[in-house]
Structure 1
Amino acid sequence: MADVESFTLDHTAVKAPYVRLIAVEHGPKGDAISNFDVRFVQPNEGEIPTAGLHTIEHVIASQLRDHLDGVIDISPFGCRTGFHLMTWGEPAIADVVAGIRESLRFIAEDAQWEDVPGVSAVECGNYRDHSLHSAREWSRLILDQGISLDAFERVGV
């Protein structure tokens, strides 16, 4: 069985919120795909409720693409403490953090229900499980704590 990097990470040693580059993979034609750990909540100490996380997912998937080039996907961890972010190329962690901050700021301060994409039965596999209120509260909390440029030290917060 192949090793999965996230299962080898010492989740007790990290200091959330942070953005961490997990790996850069190069395709057969030299294209680079970067995989980031975007951790919003300290592992094993809390988790974002499903409805709030779901709404953050929908809004950040759209907003982040306005602030960071090359976004392929941003998907929540099953543990509900953050997201995997996949991008083309090798963006600097500081640029990723800036895009995440601006996306969370939008959720915390400006987003209205009409700004949440994909919330109908046609567009979403669990459209009834959303909460903009929870998404706002968690976005504010994450921004207030600051997003570190390092997973193990509070840097650039």
Structure 2
Amino acid sequence: MSDVEIAEVESFSLDHTKVLAPYVRRIGVEHGPKGDAISNYDIRLVQPNEEEIPTGGLHTIEHTIAGLLRTRIDGLIDISPFGCRTGFHMILWGEPQPAEVAAAIKSSLEDIAERVTWDDVPGTAEISCGNYRDHSLHSAKEWSKRILARGISLDAFDRTNIA
């Protein structure tokens, strides 16, 4: 091993062979010097190392859910896809409860699956997206339906508490 210092990242110490997706998991809450809280969530949509959402579908979910969630939950700072394409990190001001986050994710995925049209998807032009050709609303809709059919658990390791 080299002498490069790399901080431990909680997400990489999570046992990905034990989690049961889809789920919402609060990774942690950080407090700033003035007491402001920022919550970090693991939004796992598909089972790690068994499935991955194709980039076109995940990209379209990302663009669409970023806007949908801002109408459903206060304090959203960012929602960004995992490189492994199994879900998203979500960063919010405050300390929303997992059930509130799961409800917002669920209703957003319902909109993507059933109501969103291509005209609703933001950032699909060259001027507004760094890879505008890599979108698929069809894939986003199909994956959203699959995720919703499985239900979103409020526990990463137990599928009995489904939102």
Q: Under a length normalisation based on structure 1, what TM-score does the superposition of the two structures give?
A: 0.99
Runs of 4+, deviation exceeding 2 Å: none
Task: State whether structure 2 residue 7 is matched by structure 1 residue 2.
Answer: yes
Q: Displacement of 1:156 after TM fit? A: 2.5
Q: Does 1:31 align with 2:47?
A: no
Q: Are positions 1:108 and 2:117 aligned together?
A: no
Aligned to 2:100: 95
Residues matched between the structures, number = 157
1:31-70 residue pairs with structure 2 within 5 A?
Answer: 31-70=36-75
| Structure with greater Cα Rg | 2
Deviation at 1:155, TM superposition (A): 3.3
Gaps of 5+ in 2: 1-5
**1:77 paired to 2:78:** no
Matched, 1:21 2:22: no
Percent identical pairs in the alignment equals: 69
Cross-structure match for 1:133? 138
Q: Supply the distance in 2 between the matched residues of 1:141 and 1:55 (Cα, whole angstroms).
A: 16
TM-score by length of 2: 0.95
Structure 2 distance, partners of 1:122, 1:116, is: 14
Gaps in structure 1 of 5+ consecutive residues: none
Aligned to 1:151: 156
Q: Which amino acid aligns with 2:55?
A: T
Task: Quote the offset at 1:125 in angstroms.
Answer: 0.2
Q: Deviations over 1:98-141 (max 9, x none)?
A: 00000000000001000000111110000000000000000000
Cα distance in 2 between the residues matched to 1:133 and 1:156: 29
